[in-house]
A and B are shown apart, each in its own frame.
Chain A
Amino acid sequence: MRKVTIWDHLILILGAVIMMGPLVVAFLTSTHDSVDIYMSGLQFTFGDRFVPTYDKVLAHSGGFTKEVTGLTMLWNSLILGLGFAIGKIVISMMAAYAIVYFRFRFATAVFWLIFSTLLLPLEVRIIPSYEVVQKFGLLNSYAGMIVPLIASATGTFFFRQFYKSVPDELLEAARIDGAGPFKFFIDILVPLSTTMMSALFIIMFVYGWNQYLWPTLMTTDEHYFTIVRGIKQILQVWVGGNQIPAYNEAMALAILAVVPPVLVVILFQRWFIKGLTESDK
């Protein structure tokens, strides 16, 4: 192997600094008083307002109705992220199972139909989607935020490709062992898919966590606000008039919003890599 030179390290350090820099600055700034930030811009030292700021952001009720805390928003985001990730995985696994293992007519056509919806982003169908959700009376509910976006062409595609790579003999062995379609799915395919599931979980959780447009549209009740919306809410004080926007709180909220997805990535990445390296084929 090539010797690791000082340049390799320099490049990696540079990359890390570029990636981490803004986060660090945001964090440092969040520990200062909003007046200081307003007067002298971004801060590069650790300030003395760490505890009060984060305490306020997490526990103090804010927003228009003064009923929603940062913790509630984090919780909402978590529900959204988990709902997205789990829902999408479950739905796309089932869809892919049907497409790959059940020989119904036009299975391939159905698959490509699903796949082609990848070309249609949410924004294209946002009005009809809104209408449907509204008619179901699901505005201002978790279901309304999650369910309309839960079908995933990407997920279906990934699982389809994976199932196709599972040797047919495994299905046949299971059939001889007395496993019906349901048992085969639960006992064999699902455990075999854990790697795929964790990979998709990472992607889908972050995707759900970062949703902005759809939750904004779906919810008017502040109890359902996600953290991504919360950040914006704080800065909106501008509009209010003579107050100084709580930059420190916005920064703190941004930092808090970043933490869970990072945790998910770190946690599942280990699994993911373990699954990749341990499988024998």
Chain B
Amino acid sequence: MGRIHLEAVRKTYAGNLEVVKGVDLDIADGEFIVLVGPSGCGKSTLLRMIAGLETITSGTITIGERVVNKLDPADRNIAMVFQNYALYPHMSVYENLAYGLRNHGTPKSEIEARVQEAARMLQLEPYLTRKPRALSGGQRQRVAMGRAIVRKPDAFLFDEPLSNLDAKLRVSMRGEIRQLQRRLGTTAVYVTHDQLEAMTLADRLVVLNGGQIEQIGTPLEVYHAPASTFVAGFIGSPAMNLLPAEVSGQDIRVGQTRVASCAPEGIAGAVTLGVRPEDVTLARDASSGVSLKISYIEELGAQRLVHGTVEGQQLTMAISPSEPLSDTVEIAIASDKLHFFGSDSGARLNR
């Protein structure tokens, strides 16, 4: 069974450098979990601790029903896909797939069957006799996945498996990974720093920052209700606008400008106001009172990103490219889609 349970897991390196600071996480069987965060947030270390490639300083990791803290990677019944694929260069694709099974003493006929099955699933059949160097990046990636599949593990662990591929291939491999995982119903833990990859793949996202979990939730939960300014700034592209604001009564002010008057109850004083770029529109009438001084424009084709300042604060909005623009435009902010964060703590205040 592929349930993974992490309890107060910590990792401290020599010199008292704590990279994972007490992580609790419960991963259901068959779930696709994505660990996402900036570099140095401890996500890879956490994954490698689950894999058994790093020791656990304290806490417990349970895979299935077993506490695996002291188990060798080979005995944890997990499979890992590495960023650089880590295929054995001198072995053919077939041998690459079979190597792990052979070491586990799987009978020959069984190995043959499993390798063939994995090869069929990944469309690798024509390449079984080739060496990895004769394969393209996408094919190597598939072999790496095949090596994971043949093991029939309790969990797949992916360590940024797509970052060596070009953008187009990345999108298609992303789809393949998702479909494959669904079909096999195997628990997956996937590490990435790419928030788009995280959003598209995950059943649940785990946003990590500085060795701690900032938020756990489905991609939409995390997107629509980020738990902190860190998550708000990290998930979503272009990033959420975060403006220092002042709430008094219903009114929300940025500097002298009243940007909206719909503050929920219980929020007052200095806050950080979060607004998604797509929730900012051009004002229908010129009397909204919020004017954006445009600094530059990025054309994305379907969208146009307008970067500018309101009261000296950076603000980005995503609007349709057909709308006319001048140097300064009046904007309206969707009042039901505002996010409020504590100005000191950065923690979410509303909802």
Which A residues have a C-beta under 8 Å from some C-beta of B?
Answer: 167, 169-170, 172-179, 183, 187-188, 191-192, 278-280
Note all chain A residues with C-beta closer than 8 A to B83. 169
Task: Please state if A280 and B89 are interface contacts (CB–CB under 8 Å).
Answer: yes
Task: Please state if B133 and A172 are interface contacts (CB–CB under 8 Å).
Answer: no
Distance (whole angstroms) from the CB of B306 to the closest CB of chain A:
43
Task: Please state if B74 and A188 are interface contacts (CB–CB under 8 Å).
Answer: no
Question: A167-B86, A192-B90, A279-B133 given as contacts; is B103 within 8 A of A176 (CB)?
Answer: no
Which B residues have a C-beta under 8 Å from some C-beta of A?
Answer: 51-53, 72-74, 78-80, 82-90, 99-100, 103-104, 132-133, 147
Task: Please state if A173 and B82 are interface contacts (CB–CB under 8 Å).
Answer: yes
Determine the distance from Cα of A138 to Cα of B69 in the docked complex, in whole angstroms: 52
Task: Please state if B84 and A169 are interface contacts (CB–CB under 8 Å).
Answer: yes
Task: Please state if A176 and B51 are interface contacts (CB–CB under 8 Å).
Answer: yes
Note all chain A residues with C-beta closer than 8 A to B104. 178
Determine the distance from Cα of A208 to Cα of B86 in the docked complex, in whole angstroms: 37
Distance (whole angstroms) from the CB of B191 to the closest CB of chain A:
13
Task: Please state if B84 and A178 are interface contacts (CB–CB under 8 Å).
Answer: no
Task: Please state if B90 and A183 are interface contacts (CB–CB under 8 Å).
Answer: no
Task: Please state if A192 and B100 are interface contacts (CB–CB under 8 Å).
Answer: no
* Contact pick for B79, options A170, A176, A187, A280, CB 8 Å: A176
Of all chain B residues, the one with the shortest Cβ separation from A188 is B88
Task: Please state if B90 and A176 are interface contacts (CB–CB under 8 Å).
Answer: no
Distance (whole angstroms) from the CB of A262 to the closest CB of chain B:
29
Residue in A170, A177, A278 with the greatest tally of chain B CB atoms within 10 Å: A177
Task: Please state if B89 and A192 are interface contacts (CB–CB under 8 Å).
Answer: yes
Note all chain A residues with C-beta closer than 8 A to B103. 177-179, 183
Distance (whole angstroms) from the CB of B61 to the closest CB of chain A:
15
Task: Please state if A175 and B53 are interface contacts (CB–CB under 8 Å).
Answer: yes
Question: Can you spell out 19 A-B residue pairs with CB atoms less than 8 angstroms apart?
Answer: A167-B84, A167-B86, A169-B82, A169-B84, A170-B86, A172-B51, A172-B73, A173-B82, A175-B52, A176-B52, A176-B53, A177-B99, A177-B100, A177-B103, A179-B103, A187-B88, A279-B89, A280-B89, A280-B133
Distance (whole angstroms) from the CB of A49 to the closest CB of chain B:
51
Determine the distance from Cα of A192 to Cα of B87 in the docked complex, in whole angstroms: 12
Determine the distance from Cα of A187 to Cα of B147 in the docked complex, in whole angstroms: 16
Note all chain B residues with C-beta closer than 8 A to A191. 90
Task: Please state if A172 and B88 are interface contacts (CB–CB under 8 Å).
Answer: no
Task: Please state if B74 and A176 are interface contacts (CB–CB under 8 Å).
Answer: yes
Note all chain A residues with C-beta closer than 8 A to B73. 172, 175-176
Distance (whole angstroms) from the CB of A176 to the closest CB of chain B:
5
Q: Which 8 A-B pairs have the closest CB atoms?
A: A177-B100, A169-B86, A178-B103, A178-B74, A280-B133, A173-B86, A191-B90, A169-B82
Determine the distance from Cα of A169 to Cα of B161 in the docked complex, in whole angstroms: 12
Of all chain A residues, the one with the shortest Cβ separation from B83 is A169
Of all chain A residues, the one with the shortest Cβ separation from B89 is A192
Task: Please state if B74 and A177 are interface contacts (CB–CB under 8 Å).
Answer: yes
Task: Please state if A172 and B90 are interface contacts (CB–CB under 8 Å).
Answer: no
Task: Please state if B88 and A170 are interface contacts (CB–CB under 8 Å).
Answer: yes
Determine the distance from Cα of A179 to Cα of B91 in the docked complex, in whole angstroms: 15
Distance (whole angstroms) from the CB of A102 to the closest CB of chain B:
16
Task: Please state if A278 and B100 are interface contacts (CB–CB under 8 Å).
Answer: no
Starting from the known contacts A172-B82, A178-B74, 14 additional A-B residue pairs (CB-CB under 8 Å) come to A167-B84, A170-B86, A172-B86, A173-B88, A174-B99, A175-B53, A175-B72, A176-B51, A176-B53, A177-B100, A178-B100, A178-B103, A191-B90, A279-B133
